[in-house]
Amino acid sequence: MSEIEKSGLKSQLETKSPRDALREEIKLVHTTSYIDLVKRVAESGGGHLDMDTALSRSSYDAALRAAGALLESVDRILSGDIGRAFCLVRPPGHHALPSRGMGFCLFNNVAIAAKYAVSKKGLERVMIIDWDAHHGNGTQDIFYEDPSVLYVSLHQYPHYPGTGWVDEIGSGQARGTTINFPFPPGTGEDVYLKAFEEVIIPVGKQFNPDFVMISAGYDGHALDLLCSMGLVDSSYRKMTDMIVEMANECCGGKILVTLEGGYNLEAQARSIVQTISGLIGADVEAKDGEPPGTVYSDRAFSIIEQAKNLRA
């Protein structure tokens, strides 16, 4: 929030504390027994769902508020009250499976929002773009057999959680509605932008979504502590601009962004500013320099070719 204020964007934005998600809304994705488990562990004072995923006494309440931010954003965007939304939420969500939390995630915020948009708001198609450097295994699993959701992930591989190889493309009627870019460590902006130009944007236009959602993790930044990718602040502006152009063409510009990972707080804050500036078309100069080149360019570009060939 401090970086947003320093950027001069704050006066152009509405900042709102959202409602909590209802239990029935969480059940659009998660099992009753799992929801009860999260509530019980939190109310007992906290604990761990696994070695990575800790709960405090307030974690259940925070998770309801995080999911509620996305649901309220869906409502307000579809009503025309606002054009786009960036949900600055914690905990994140894209690793959460229907009956299991993992990877710091309790409830799968973006999956709940997409299910809500389709099942409660009557939309036919939702596109989710996940640029977190960890694969969103939970989101993929939830929609792997659901042709109403196109899920696209760009991530470091091999890396946690070990899923998201290029040949994981969905099954049944949803075959082709999952697209994975498992890039090697050191993959930079040039490869990411080519993936957007040659695969993500063309496929998105063909899918013609009614709504676009972004799982925006910033651990792909070159300064991040947990990952080894080569993005910089301005990389996120360039990706956002491409998504905005596609959404304008397909769905009247309806975009919801939700925060996932990111472990260098300064780089994350600056990158969020670049994303928001792209969402509203503001001119905010990036504070970083030129992006580093891709380390294993042949391997990285071959992933894009494989993704294209799997759709041929």
Domains observed in the chain: 2-310 (3.40.800.20)
What pLDDT does residue 288 have? 85
Residue 23: pLDDT above 90? yes
What pLDDT does residue 181 have? 98
94 is catalytic: no
3-state secondary structure the chain: CHHHHHHCCHHHCCCCCCCCCCHHHHCCCCCHHHHHHHHHHHHCCCEECCCCCEECCCHHHHHHHHHHHHHHHHHHHHHCCCCEEEECCCCCCCCCECCECECCECCCHHHHHHHHHHHCCCCCCEEEEECCCCCCHHHHHHHCCCCCEEEEEEEECCCCCCCCCCCCCCCHHHCCCEEEEEECCCCEHHHHHHHHHHHHHHHHHHHCCCEEEEEECCCCECCCCCCCCEECHHHHHHHHHHHHHHHHHHHCCCEEEEECCCCCHHHHHHHHHHHHHHHHCCCCCCCCCCCCCCCCHHHHHHHHHHHHHHCC
pLDDT band at 150 (very low <50, low <70, confident <90, very high): very high
Whether the Cβ atoms of residue 164 and residue 306 lie closer than 8 Å to each other: no
pLDDT band at 289 (very low <50, low <70, confident <90, very high): confident
What pLDDT does residue 310 have? 93
* Mean pLDDT, all residues of the chain: 97
Average pLDDT over residues 226-235: 97
What pLDDT does residue 191 have? 98
Q: Which of 30, 95, 135, 155 is catalytic?
A: 95
What pLDDT does residue 290 have? 86
pLDDT digits (tens, 9 = 90+) for 123-145: 999 999 999 999 999 999 999 99
Average pLDDT over residues 186-190: 97
pLDDT band at 225 (very low <50, low <70, confident <90, very high): very high
Average pLDDT over residues 212-233: 97
Q: 146 to each of 131, 151, 152, how far by Cα in Å?
A: 21, 10, 14
pLDDT band at 312 (very low <50, low <70, confident <90, very high): confident
Average pLDDT over residues 97-107: 98
Residue 311: pLDDT above 90? no
Average pLDDT over residues 285-306: 93
Residue 293: pLDDT above 80? yes
Residue 193: pLDDT above 90? yes
Among 69, 66, 307, 93, CA closest to 203 = 307
